[in-house]
A and B are shown apart, each in its own frame.
Chain A
Amino acid sequence: MRTASRGLPLLVAALAIAYPWLVPNYYLVYAGALTVMYAAMATSWNLLGGFTGYVSLGHSAFFGLGAYGTGLLVTRLDVPWAVALPVSALLVTVFAVGVGVAAVRVRGASFVIVSIALVSMMNLVVQGWRSLTGGSTGLQVPSPFPGLHRGQTHMVFFYLFLVLLGLALLSWWYVSRSRFGAGLRAIREDEDKAESLGVPTGAYKVAAFALSALFVALAGGLYALWFGSLDPIFMFSILIGSYMVLMSLLGGVRHVYGPLLGALIVAPAGEYFLIALGETQVHLAATGVLLILVVLFMPEGILSRLTRGRGGPSIPEESAGQRLEGAAR
Chain B
Amino acid sequence: MSLLLQGVALGVLTGGLYALLASGLSLYFGVMRVVMVAHPAFLFLAAYLTYTVHTALGVDPFLALPVTVPVFFALGVAVQRLLVARLAPENVAMMSVLLTFGLALTIEGLLGTFYTGSYKSVSMEYATRSLTIGGVHLPYDKIIAFAVAALTLAVLFAVLVRSRFGQALRATIQHREAARLVGVQTERVAGYGFGVGLATAAVGGTVLALITPFFPASHWVWIGKLMAIIVVGGLGSVAGAALAAVLLGVVEGVVLVTVDATWATMMFYVFLFLTLLARPQGFFGGRLAHRF
A binding-site residues for B, Cβ under 8 Å: 53, 55, 57, 99, 101-103, 105-110, 112-114, 116-118, 120-121, 124-125, 127-128, 238-239, 242, 245, 249, 280-292, 295-296, 299
A280-B102 contact given A108-B291, A112-B94, A116-B223, CB 8 Å threshold:
no
Interface locus among B6-14, B105-113, B134-142: B105-113
Interface locus among B56-64, B243-251, B264-272: B264-272
List 11 A-B pairs, Cβ < 8 Å: A53-B91, A110-B290, A112-B97, A120-B221, A125-B266, A128-B266, A242-B101, A284-B109, A286-B109, A289-B102, A291-B98
Q: Is the CB–CB distance between B94 and A280 below 8 Å?
A: no
Q: Is the CB–CB distance between B103 and A288 below 8 Å?
A: yes
The residue that A296 contacts in the complex, of B86, B101, B262, B280, with Cβ under 8 A, is B86
Of B95, B97, B108, B111, most A-chain CB atoms within 10 Å: B97
The residue that A124 contacts in the complex, of B95, B104, B223, B266, with Cβ under 8 A, is B266
Q: Is the CB–CB distance between B224 and A120 below 8 Å?
A: yes
What is the bound-complex CA distance between A284 and B110, given in angstroms? 8
Q: Is the CB–CB distance between A109 and B96 below 8 Å?
A: yes
The answer to whether the Cβ of B165 comes within 8 Å of any Cβ in the partner chain is no
Q: Is the CB–CB distance between A299 and B88 below 8 Å?
A: yes
A285-B110 contact given A120-B221, A292-B102, CB 8 Å threshold:
yes
Of A110, A114, A292, A296, most B-chain CB atoms within 10 Å: A110
Q: Is the CB–CB distance between B262 and A105 below 8 Å?
A: no
Q: Is the CB–CB distance between A107 and B291 below 8 Å?
A: yes
The residue that A109 contacts in the complex, of B94, B105, B113, with Cβ under 8 A, is B94
A105-B277 contact given A110-B235, A117-B228, A291-B102, CB 8 Å threshold:
yes
**What residue of chain B has the Cβ atom nearest to residue A107's Cβ?**
B290
Per-position binary interface string of chain B over residues 256-281, scored 1 when its CB falls under 8 Å from any chain A CB and 0 otherwise: 00000011011011001100110010
**What residue of chain B has the Cβ atom nearest to residue A241's Cβ?**
B101
The answer to whether the Cβ of B157 comes within 8 Å of any Cβ in the partner chain is no
20 more CB-based (< 8 A) A-B contacts, given A285-B108, A291-B101: A105-B276, A106-B290, A109-B35, A109-B96, A110-B35, A110-B289, A113-B227, A117-B269, A124-B262, A238-B220, A245-B98, A282-B109, A283-B109, A285-B105, A288-B105, A289-B106, A291-B102, A292-B83, A292-B103, A299-B91
What is the bound-complex CA distance between A292 and B37, given in angstroms? 13
What is the bound-complex CA distance between A288 and B110, given in angstroms? 10
Report chain A residues within 8 Å CB of B235.
110
What is the bound-complex CA distance between A155 and B89, given in angstroms? 46
What is the bound-complex CA distance between A289 and B289, given in angstroms? 28
Classify the secondary structure of A's interface with B: helix
What is the bound-complex CA distance between A285 and B114, given in angstroms? 12
**What residue of chain A has the Cβ atom nearest to residue B115's Cβ?**
A281
Report chain A residues within 8 Å CB of B103.
288, 292
A292-B99 contact given A108-B292, A117-B269, CB 8 Å threshold:
yes
What is the bound-complex CA distance between A282 and B107, given in angstroms? 10
Report chain B residues within 8 Å CB of A242.
101, 105
What is the bound-complex CA distance between A281 and B105, given in angstroms? 10
Q: Is the CB–CB distance between A108 and B109 below 8 Å?
A: no
What is the bound-complex CA distance between A109 and B223, given in angstroms? 13
Report chain B residues within 8 Å CB of A99.
273
Q: Is the CB–CB distance between A284 and B105 below 8 Å?
A: yes
Per-position binary interface string of chain B over residues 154-171, scored 1 when its CB falls under 8 Å from any chain A CB and 0 otherwise: 000000000000000000
Report chain B residues within 8 Å CB of A299.
88, 91, 95
The residue that B289 contacts in the complex, of A55, A106, A124, A125, with Cβ under 8 A, is A106
The answer to whether the Cβ of B127 comes within 8 Å of any Cβ in the partner chain is no
The answer to whether the Cβ of B216 comes within 8 Å of any Cβ in the partner chain is yes
A55-B98 contact given A280-B113, A281-B113, CB 8 Å threshold:
yes
**What residue of chain B has the Cβ atom nearest to residue A237's Cβ?**
B217
Q: Is the CB–CB distance between B227 and A281 below 8 Å?
A: no
Q: Is the CB–CB distance between A102 and B87 below 8 Å?
A: no
Q: Is the CB–CB distance between A281 and B216 below 8 Å?
A: yes
Chain B nearest CB from A117 CB (Å) reads 5
Of A106, A114, A128, most B-chain CB atoms within 10 Å: A106
Report chain A residues within 8 Å CB of B112.
280-281, 284
What is the bound-complex CA distance between A245 and B37, given in angstroms? 15
Q: Is the CB–CB distance between A288 and B106 below 8 Å?
A: yes
Q: Is the CB–CB distance between A106 and B280 below 8 Å?
A: yes
Chain B nearest CB from A62 CB (Å) reads 16
Report chain A residues within 8 Å CB of B289.
106, 110
Q: Is the CB–CB distance between B93 and A105 below 8 Å?
A: no
What is the bound-complex CA distance between A318 and B60, given in angstroms? 69
A295-B98 contact given A107-B290, A110-B289, CB 8 Å threshold:
yes
